[in-house]
Amino acid sequence: VEDNFRGNVQTRLRKLSEGVVKATLLALAGLKRLNMTENVTSTLSIEDMLPAVAQGAIGIACRRNDDKMAEYLASLNHEETRLAISCERAFLTTLDGSCRTPIAGYASRDKDGNCLFRGLVAS
């Protein structure tokens, strides 16, 4: 039986423990942040399920003429992540995707530094 339900982590876990639902899918990052990893029974690998394009990435913008802030923000940049997200977003843009389009993508590097990309367009 499928049951789409909304709610925060605590609500979803309560419904699970009360038997209202048989399973739920939660972000591991959120469970870690809430110190609730004891509730994790399994995790999905990239091979099991591709994430949404740029899922988990945080972007920060500042005023165009604020050189001091731009310099500070540049120090926070993680180049590997920036390159991966740029690749993923290029895929999304090429397909004219949006947050309402079922498009997934994951970019990484192999041991030789080559970009590896997996993409999915669902229906």
End-to-end CA, the chain: 21
Place of tokens 């591709």: 50
Where do the domains of the chain lie? 1-43, 47-123
pLDDT digits (tens, 9 = 90+) for 58-92: 889 999 999 999 999 999 999 999 999 999 999 99
- pLDDT for residue 2 is more than 90: no
What global pTM score does this model have? 0.75
Q: What is the pLDDT of residue 39?
A: 83
Q: What 3-state DSSP class applies to 19?
A: coil
pLDDT digits (tens, 9 = 90+) for 16-71: 899 988 889 998 988 999 999 998 999 999 999 999 999 889 889 999 999 999 99
47-123 fold: Double Stranded RNA Binding Domain (3.30.160)
The contacts found for 8-15 with CB under 8 angstroms, 24 or more apart, are 9/34, 9/36, 13/39
Cα Dmax for the chain: 55
Q: Which of 79, 103, 78 is nearest to 91 (CA)?
A: 103
